[in-house]
Amino acid sequence: MQSVNPYTESVRAEYDEHDDEAVEAALSRAIDAFGEWRERSLTDRRELLADAGEVLRDRDEEFAELMTEEMGKPISQARSEVEKCAWVCDYYAEHAAEHLQEKTVNGPKDAETYVRYDPLGPILAVMPWNFPLWQVFRFAAPHLTSGNVGLLKHASNVPGCAKVIEEVFSEAGYPEGVFQSLLVDSDQVEDVVADERVRAVTLTGSGPAGRAVAEQAGRNLKKSVLELGGSDPFVVLDDAPIDEAAETGARARTINSGQSCIAAKRFIVHDDVYDEFVEKFVAEMEALQVGDPKDDDTDVGPQAREDLLSDLQEQVEETVEMGATVETGGEPLDREGYFYPPTVLTDVPRDSPGAREELFGPAASVFRVESEEAAVELANDSQYGLGGSVWTTDLERGKEVAGRIDSGAVFVNELTKSDPRLPFGGVKESGYGRELGKEGIREFVNRKTVFVQHGVGDE
């Protein structure tokens, strides 16, 4: 399994893949570890998670550089990602006991009735390359702490990240087998999902991958959680603060070099402010610095793989051929590395890739609408429903519009982002289930009802 630096286009390292024998051994370790791990006190598990957060902080620069070398993330954003991983460890170390506390339910007066939250067992996590540490830690922090054990199948272009995540938990003192990385290809995933020792599966990735995993999980009667990306609307109403919307919009579209499921992708702008917004938005996009991802001043690095760059260009070309106008960008950069410039498309046809598909790179589609109602209608005219953003100076209006947008999250006067304190997930073809917050830690537990009848056998 090769790790290719997308900035230099050179192989930075090679890793031995796990064969079927190695996978079998890992599954055996996982089920053995679960038997003991589930009996560890929640206090112990929380303390170990806090220690994992400290390991992340102690090795933050090492991990940030690794992410930048494996998938091209600008180094400043890579450092922030490591810190966010430490934050999610801190959050569940502090709040897991509260989220997993037994819940008393009013029942018959002569009985004690409550719900407890028990772990399920080994959980398989199939994770993507775009946030190679954060996506894993937002899975592992809650679900290991609730008493499950984790098996990670990471994206094949970030094997180095997969290995160091395993090291974090080992260095923090987790028992062997509680968290393991499997360096396997996608063909082996089906067998792992089907294995009776694996009790549930979570996937963050593409729609086709999600459908395949969900089908396998359903066939084997196993719980699944899916986060399948999005094409988030960024709605600019007629009373929006245009300077702030344009500046934040450029960041929202190009974070992680545009390779984010919750990046703003469809900019839906009221006619009254359309020209002003487009002028300022294009200027903000053109002001972003594209270059060496290890340079602290770089805003946009390379795309993670050559095929991803090609896919994005095909989508942009087809959108333009169907009638869209290129305001800036629109062609891969003629230089070493998989670079695509910040791109703005206007006059985007509603049936073009720029409107109907997810553009996974720094290319924004801008739409003009005549009213608030038309803005909401267009925002919801998508197969996706992950996040969204609404811009207005009237906060009550913003909340009302947010309530009408069909997505898992809507932010008013802010870009869409994940937060350990808040549930995260989508609707429609963006998937189902929730990560993070109280809702996230309860996704992979047995919500067990306990009924204790009083008075039986009393003298």
| Residue 457: predicted pLDDT | 78
Residue 116's H or E segment, with its range, is strand 111-119
> Considering the domain boundaries, does residue 348 fall inside one?
yes
Same domain, 236 and 196: no
- Residue found by looking up tokens 């998989």 in the block: 338
Could you tell me if 251 and 415 are in contact, meaning their C-beta atoms sit under 8 angstroms apart? yes
What element of type H or E holds 14? strand 10-14
Query: Phi, psi (5° rounding) for residue 261?
Result: -65, -30
- The tens digit of pLDDT for each residue in 118-161 reads 999 999 999 999 999 999 999 999 999 999 999 999 999 999 99
Average pLDDT over residues 413-428: 98
Q: Each residue of 368-416: pLDDT tens digit?
A: 999 999 999 999 999 999 999 999 999 999 999 999 999 999 999 999 9
When divided into structural domains, the chain yields a total of 2
Rounded to two decimals, what is the model's pTM?
0.97
408 occurs within a structural domain: yes
The answer to whether position 418 is within a domain reads no
pLDDT surpasses 80 at 458: no
Co-location of 196 and 248 in the same domain: no
Phi, psi of 236 (to 5 degrees): -110, 105
Structure token pair of residue 233: 């609307």
Give the pLDDT score at 164: 98
> Are 225 and 243 found together in one domain?
no
Can you name the residues that pair with 449 across neighbouring β-strands? 115
The answer to the question of residue 417 being in a domain is no
pLDDT in tens, 61-87: 999 999 999 999 999 999 999 999 999
User: Does 196 lie in the same domain as 169?
Assistant: yes
Answer yes or no: is pLDDT of 447 > 90: yes
| Lookup result for tokens 């984790």 | 150
* Mean pLDDT calculated for residue range 151-172: 98
CATH number where 45 lies: 3.40.605.10
Please write the tens of the pLDDT for every residue from 18-48: 999 999 999 999 999 999 999 999 999 999 9
pLDDT at 140: 98
Q: What is the pLDDT of residues 101-112, one digit of tens each?
A: 999 999 999 999
274 and 320 co-located in one domain: yes
Domain carrying residue 151: 2-229+444-451
Residues 34 and 94 in one domain: yes
459 pLDDT above the threshold of 70: no
- Please tell me the predicted confidence (pLDDT) of residue 76: 98
Does residue 201 share a domain with residue 83?
yes
Give the HSE-up count for residue 336: Cα atoms under 13 Å, Cβ half-sphere. Answer: 7
**Distance from the Cα of residue 152 to its chain's centroid:** 15
- The CATH number assigned to the domain holding 398 equals 3.40.309.10
pLDDT digits (tens, 9 = 90+) for 395-407: 999 999 999 999 9
Assigned domain for 178 exists:
yes
Average pLDDT, the chain: 97
**Residues identified as active-site:** 227, 261
Same domain, residue pair 184 and 110: yes
Do 285 and 347 sit in the same domain of this protein?
A: yes
Residue with tokens 């702490």: 145
DSSP output for 309-357: HHHHHHHHHHHHHTT-EEEE--S--SSSS-----EEEES--TTSHHHHS
Tens digit of pLDDT for each residue in 234-246? 999 999 999 999 9
Q: Return the ∠ at Cα 229 (arms to 228 and 233), rounded to 5°.
A: 140
> What local confidence, expressed as pLDDT, does residue 7 receive?
98
Q: Which residues pair with 364 in a beta bridge?
A: 344
Residue 423 resides in a domain: no
